[in-house]
Structure 1
Amino acid sequence: MVTNQRPEVLVLDVNETLSDLEPLRARFEAVGMPGHALDAWFAATLRDGFALTAAGSYAAFRTIGSDLLHSMLVGAGLDATDEVISSVLSGFTQLHAHPDVAPGLTRLRELGFRLITLTNGAAAMSEQMFAEAGVLQLLEHRLDVEKPGRWKPDAAAYRYAAEVCKTEVDRMALVAVHPWDIDGARRAGLLGYYLDRRRTPYPQAFLPADLTAPDLESLADRLAMA
């Protein structure tokens, strides 16, 4: 579905939307876990972040992720020292952007969109990745949810981004690979642009995306025609 309204600001999710998490599998394997443990760990980290937000509380992504990884390692009878946990989670600072990120963001900026990022992780963790991809200068703001103290998809996280950009939420569109993020943004008043990187069906329980594209370059092409 394509909306006739053109947003002013594109709010870009980071983990999986812009970054490729696949290299983290090798870090799980290096400490004795199977590679697929990454998926369970990431999903559980989101779950606990969402749960704390629903309860009116907050903890940082790193805090929650460390606790969960510690539990997984102990449960598997593996070494669970701080050094081991850090060897896995430090991989977030060394991730690479998907191949379409640099050309896609460049094209979107050329089309006149303001570009910001908003992540449930720490904004600083992606600085090296954006610098390496040559897109750091394209990003007006790189935000995380520490200041609002609410994880996406809570409305407070998106409203915080609007406040920083000095605009209204209905002049913004979230770009993400996660349907729960699209749904949260739409309920907060933003448009929702779904990057269907994995070619997976969009859940019917969530509010539908205003636009769907397989990658950022395709998204730019579709917005150029809107």
Structure 2
Amino acid sequence: MTSTPPPTLERRPRLLIFDVNETLSDMTHLGDRFVEVGVPPYLAAPWFAGLLRDGFALTVTGHNPSFADVAHASLRTVLHDKANVEAASRHVMAGFLELPLHDDVRDGIRALAGMGLRLVTLSNGSADVAEGLLARGGIRDHFERVLSVEDAPAWKPAASAYAYALRECGVAPEDAMLVAVHPWDVHGAKAAGLLAAWVDRVGAPYPEPMYAADIVATSLTDLASRLESLPAS
């Protein structure tokens, strides 16, 4: 399968569904936590990719695991040679409770909310972590719902995860747009019939085998500008 050129959007979606980890939160700060437990900071990125891989594997075999449980298990593998693996793992995981927003998020969210768009989150992580992130960033009041796959049948990118969000918000797939930095999330949303926006903050090429995003933006403020140019639904 190869990706196809995205269709030309004729109108704004009614609902924007935001991924949380890495899309809204700046997870580079977790590298500091790795340093504090005696591990090189560059291991943070492959650790997070590995925990997603494990979560996806559990999902396709019929399980819906807790993000925290999968993350802890993955950390124990990375930190296995530390004297106190459990304490080190808890220290790294506590970093999720202090992550900041990406620099573009606050202004982008306010601009999108100012257009009258409905905003919700849908995270493979916990709703409590997402709630804390939005509250610390001063943008919680712009989101009508903070949703987690903990209450859905499966992790994203399973179709049932997106269907759960649509049911909770009472919106048809064609009226909803996922917003994410992860191509796998964009692909999953497109496969489930939603629109999707890919936020490419680093200028990386999009994986050709995956369904193309309807919008490619360099930031949430860029996404707001692109959507503002479209007629309202």
Q: TM-score if structure 1 supplies the norm length? A: 0.96
- How many Å apart are 1:126 and its aligned residue? 2.5
The one-character-per-residue Cα deviations of 1:101-142 (angstroms, maximum 9, x if unpaired) are: 111111101111100000001111122221122110000100
More contact order relative to length (CA 8 Å, sep ≥ 6): 2
Q: Give TM-score, length-normalised by structure 2.
A: 0.93
Q: Which residue of 2 aligns with 1:3?
A: 9
- In structure 2, list runs of 5 or more residues that go unmatched: 1-5
The reply on whether 1:158 has 2:158 as its aligned counterpart is no
Identity of aligned residues (%): 41
**Shift, 1:17, TM fit:** 0.5
Which residue does 2:27 correspond to in 1?
A: 21
Please give the alpha-carbon distance, in whole angstroms, between the structure 2 residues aligned to 1:133 and 1:72.
Answer: 30
Report the RMSD for the aligned CA atoms in angstroms. Answer: 1.1
Alignment of 1:192 with 2:196, yes or no, is: yes
Q: What are the ranges of 5 or more consecutive residues in structure 1 without an aligned counterpart?
A: none
2:127 is matched with 123
Counterpart residue number, 2:185: 181
Task: Give the count of matched residue pairs.
Answer: 224
Partner of 1:114: 118
- Deviations, residues 33-67 of structure 1 (Å, cap 9, x unaligned): 11111011101100011001111112111101101
Q: Which one of the candidate residues 95, 101, 104 is aligned to 1:97?
A: 101
Counterpart mapping for 1:36-51 below 5 A = 36-51=42-57
* Structure 1 counterpart of 2:215: 211
Partner of 1:153, secondary structure, is coil
Shift of 1:80: 3.9
Decide whether the 8 Å contact of 1:70 with 1:80 is kept in 2: no
State the partner residue of 2:38: 32
Residue equivalent to 2:175: 171
